Structure 1
């Protein structure tokens, strides 16, 4: 799913109106019907709905939704921030169509509004045309909404939020749910402002596909349909050699949990064979926890010598719990100089790479790097804002001719060409130690299975997030842990297929 800028969104609306053809009111009605249907499906009729209405098309959407839901049996209350004379033509048109039974108030002292505690607040104040900080009267209204204990649903995006960058420190509505139209907006997917959106629901309103296909954008959104289209088939007469052999160089004395998690995930990836290279003294824990994994034994307490015959392996995952001992750094350099197929670099492999920039030239092309924000800073330096961060990630991916996965709430997958995919699956329960080890093992397994690096990253990150959702549904976000994740990978794969 392509992500467009605010300017492109407005152009897509105009193009749809001109080429479908459809009137602007009809397009607004189409969007409002989809929003109203979602509310009908998720909020009971006994719940009062309180609409805050701006003067533009976002307000027009809100008024149309209020009309539709009133006719569907909901109690709807409308607060108009601006007088009728200031409303856009579309917004004024929908105000005039509002049934008499919809309670309404125009302007006035917003703090004196009597909003029932069980009401759901519908934010229809500002849309994609926001520029600059909020000013009164909108400023006071947004502050009051954020003070309320009520659930808040924002239409298209939380009022005050810019569609792309520059949202750091900006006051916006803090929504529980955002019903975004056609595709998410870039700002929703980044830490700078994404928290304001709550849960993101993407509602299709059928903007003209010709414009959407032709519009240039380096940003995309990973959906279930995208992942399903990239899944490899499993030939009936395949065998363990057909499906690839992955080597995991993970773990060290006292840090074998990371290797065990990576191996468990690789064993769920669909690849044919998994070998874990580990210190000889740590072998028993792996043999007990993952008897399906083969072992390559290192005589030291950390990664110090290369496994025999690296040509046997279709991919390598390296770094989880590996440590940064002097002999490990030397062995890591030798591995990079020796092995030419794509590798997955995580944790200590990334830290070694950051501390020894000369090693970057030896990273095989089409590898996958999986930094969390701290590791990313060590690799690329500090950034002032999310826009600069994106540019630094694109440069890293281009310089290494590799894929960079920046882990987070909407993990970003950046190709060497600078195309960025934002993940749609996952939950806050994944923010625990070991989740990244599971992801690294899964990605290395998918590379061995036969996926190219970009497909492996897109599929693996989504499946990992979906497994997290399933894990949270079973254990809860607070109590789930990374050791639970590998088993839920199987359910995630089955769901997608």
Structure 2
């Protein structure tokens, strides 16, 4: 299993050598991100992930959220197309059509029911093409832990927290998060980003060391998942997107710390630092 000594540390120099694609042309050239999530009481998670995807470089944004929140979200994020989801977890034809056409699907932010999430995930990823990039977060990871066959796309990034990693592993991940990330990457044939430890299946591993305590705030993980999605949309490979996102997420927090302290900033404020952080690497 991977140890800390086998991980490459993510630094600005490493990222500059691994430069992000910089597409020319219109918004179509920077890809379409579809974010699916946002239960009745938590639509803000989709907002955070979606706007973070745009700040990371995605060209077009589409949001699928609980029907009760769709109108309000369309006003809050005028850059996005917003469609409503029924309360039973089924995906309407319009959402399936969006999934079929999307370049990247981020699934999970703000969902709060495993059975509904499983049905939604099966419909959305079933409609998506094999080449569609996928980011799974939050309850989508819980659904994956119960049915690994839900994910068939190979361009996938999983962004678990420690609890979600435990569900996926079937045990406590313990202190060796590098090994846990590697095990999950190999098991699900996907890139895994776990608390600064990034692993790709059967391949390389990295470690991001800039993250601080302030990132442990409500909505922060939604922002990170959105950054990954936006970088994938502009053409990054999954491991590249995960490494860049981990660094950008961490450094966005560090940029906010002088104003708000180590633990005083909000996830929505992280979003506003994403583009500038990418630009200054």
* 1:311 pairs with 2:119: no
Return the alpha-carbon distance in structure 1 between the equivalents of residues 49 and 123 of structure 2. Answer: 22
Given candidates 221, 230, 233, the residue that maps to 2:18 is 230
Return the alpha-carbon distance in structure 2 between the equivalents of residues 358 and 455 of structure 1. Answer: 24
1:414 aligns with: 199
Change (3 A) 1:425 1:303: farther
Secondary structure of residue in 1 paired with 2:29: coil
Contact map agreement 1:260 1:286 (CA 8 A) in 2? yes
Return the alpha-carbon distance in structure 1 between the equivalents of residues 117 and 231 of structure 2. Answer: 25
For structure 1, the 5+ residue unaligned runs are: 1-163, 165-185, 187-216
Contact map agreement 1:278 1:297 (CA 8 A) in 2? yes
Given candidates 215, 232, 235, the residue that maps to 1:430 is 215
CA displacement 1:174-196 (0-9 Å, x = unmatched): xxxxxxxxxxxx4xxxxxxxxxx
Secondary structure of residue in 2 paired with 1:241: helix
1:404 aligns with: 192
Return the alpha-carbon distance in structure 2 between the equivalents of residues 475 and 384 of structure 1. Answer: 32
Return the alpha-carbon distance in structure 2 between the equivalents of residues 330 and 471 of structure 1. Answer: 38
Return the alpha-carbon distance in structure 2 between the equivalents of residues 257 and 284 of structure 1. Answer: 13
Change (3 A) 1:233 1:400: closer
Return the alpha-carbon distance in structure 2 between the equivalents of residues 384 and 455 of structure 1. Answer: 24
In the TM superposition, what is the alpha-carbon distance from 1:325 to its structure 2 partner? 5.2
CA displacement 1:239-295 (0-9 Å, x = unmatched): 111110010002010111111111110110111101011122202332232211121
1:473 aligns with: 258
Given candidates 58, 72, 78, the residue that maps to 1:285 is 72
CA displacement 1:137-177 (0-9 Å, x = unmatched): xxxxxxxxxxxxxxxxxxxxxxxxxxx7xxxxxxxxxxxxx
Matched residues, number: 275
Return the alpha-carbon distance in structure 1 between the equivalents of residues 119 and 163 of structure 2. Answer: 24
Which deviates more, 390-399 or 246-255? 390-399
Contact map agreement 2:181 2:193 (CA 8 A) in 1? no
Change (3 A) 1:295 1:234: same
Return the alpha-carbon distance in structure 2 between the equivalents of residues 352 and 233 of structure 1. Answer: 32
Q: Which has the higher contact order (CA 8 A, sep 6+)?
A: 2
| TM-score where L is the length of structure 2 | 0.90
Secondary structure of residue in 1 paired with 2:90: coil
Contact map agreement 1:253 1:302 (CA 8 A) in 2? no
1:91 aligns with: none
> What are the residue-to-residue correspondences of 1:51-70 with 2, within 5 Å?
none
CA displacement 1:80-111 (0-9 Å, x = unmatched): xxxxxxxxxxxxxxxxxxxxxxxxxxxxxxxx
| TM-score where L is the length of structure 1 | 0.52
1:254 aligns with: 41
2:167 aligns with: 378
Contact map agreement 2:49 2:222 (CA 8 A) in 1? yes
> What are the residue-to-residue correspondences of 1:108-187 with 2, within 5 Å?
186=4
* 1:357 pairs with 2:147: yes
Return the alpha-carbon distance in structure 1 between the equivalents of residues 55 and 148 of structure 2. Answer: 35
| Aligned-residue CA RMSD (Å) | 2.1
Given candidates 244, 248, 252, the residue that maps to 1:463 is 248
Give every structure 1 segment of 4 or more consecutive aligned residues whose post-TM-superposition deviation is greater than 4 Å.
none
Return the alpha-carbon distance in structure 1 between the equivalents of residues 53 and 278 of structure 2. Answer: 13
Which structure has the bigger radius of gyration?
1
Return the alpha-carbon distance in structure 1 between the equivalents of residues 223 and 258 of structure 2. Answer: 18
Contact map agreement 2:190 2:200 (CA 8 A) in 1? yes
2:26 aligns with: 239
Return the alpha-carbon distance in structure 2 between the equivalents of residues 334 and 430 of structure 1. Answer: 32
* 1:486 pairs with 2:276: no
Secondary structure of residue in 1 paired with 2:167: helix
